[in-house]
Amino acid sequence: MSAALQTLNMTRILPGPVPVTLIEHANLSIGKGEFVAITGPSGSGKSSLLYLLGLLDRPTEGSVMLEEKETSHLGSGELARLRLAKLGFVFQFHFLLPEFSVLENVMIPMRKLGRLSGDAMKTKAMRLLKSLGMEGEARKRPEQLSGGQRQRAAIARALANDPLVLLADEPTGNLDSKNAHNVFEIFRGLAEDQGQTVVVVTHDPHLSEHTHRQIHIVDGRIVDA
Ligand SMILES: Nc1ncnc2c1ncn2[C@@H]1O[C@H](COP(=O)(O)OP(=O)(O)O)[C@@H](O)[C@H]1O
Ligand SMILES: [Mg+2]
């Protein structure tokens, strides 16, 4: 299995009068098509690890490799471009833009990447929404959706540029258990039917047991992967 994301002896220390070690010597390899959970207690460093994997933060030591390519030498502009083209993000709060329709929200990453015509973007956004059972909501504003629908719209937006890896930080934190399981089933379907690599942070063992593998972290250290 070829690796989508790897870390090599990755450490992240926040500088300051009292430096804070967020992640210590993390060695990980996440294969293409894997559906992986990052689990651990509150404050253990799950979000910190996801941000490093998602190139939203940089290690103090060691490296993050995307498709086996080192990223540590890249400038912030190049990292932003790489995130846009290769990574999709879903957070606990959906961050959909309230003044735009669901369809327009899903098209935003495509517009930023600028590879498709307007018609092709619209067709693709509709196809993504349809695959998530959201075609009836395409013209609505985010405020007109239920919580579960908003997260599905956020997932569609995260998939807009066919990311190598979908990264999600507690994406079900605001959902009831039925909608939470629904989101995990969507992720599993993406991995198993389409070979989508998915990395999801959750502190809920009822949800993480539905993934292929769990990376367990305690006090910034990977204790089981
Ligand atoms: N910017 C920051 N400044 C100081 N401490 C931080 C900062 N970000 C995270 N931390 C601390 O690092 C630890 C790990 O945080 P985080 O990755 O958010 O954990 P988790 O997502 O598992 O709850 C926590 O103890 C948190 O308080
Ligand atoms: Mg967190």
Tens-place pLDDT, residues 171-204: 999 999 999 999 999 999 999 999 999 999 999 9
Atom 4, ligand 1: residue with shortest CA distance: 20
In DSSP terms, 10 is beta-bridged to 26
Q: Measured in angstroms, how far is the CA atom of residue 22 from the centroid of ligand 1?
A: 6
Residue 6, pLDDT score: 98
Q: Is 25 left (phi over 0), alpha (psi -120 to 50) or beta?
A: left
| Amino acid in position 50 | L
Q: Which two tokens stand for residue 143?
A: 């405020």
Cβ 19 under 6 angstroms from ligand 1:
no
The reply to whether the predicted model has a pTM over 0.85 is yes
Residue 90, pLDDT score: 98
Helix (H) or strand (E) holding 199: strand 197-201
Q: Measured in angstroms, how far is the CA atom of residue 48 from the centroid of ligand 1?
A: 7
pLDDT tier at 71, thresholds 50, 70, 90: very high
pLDDT exceeds cutoff 80 at 64: yes
**Cα 211 → chain centroid:** 14
- Domain containing residue 91: 3-224
In this structure, the chain runs to a length of: 225
Helices and strands per DSSP (H, E), number in the chain: 7, 10
Number of domains within the chain = 1
Q: Measured in angstroms, how far is the CA atom of residue 172 from the centroid of ligand 1?
A: 19
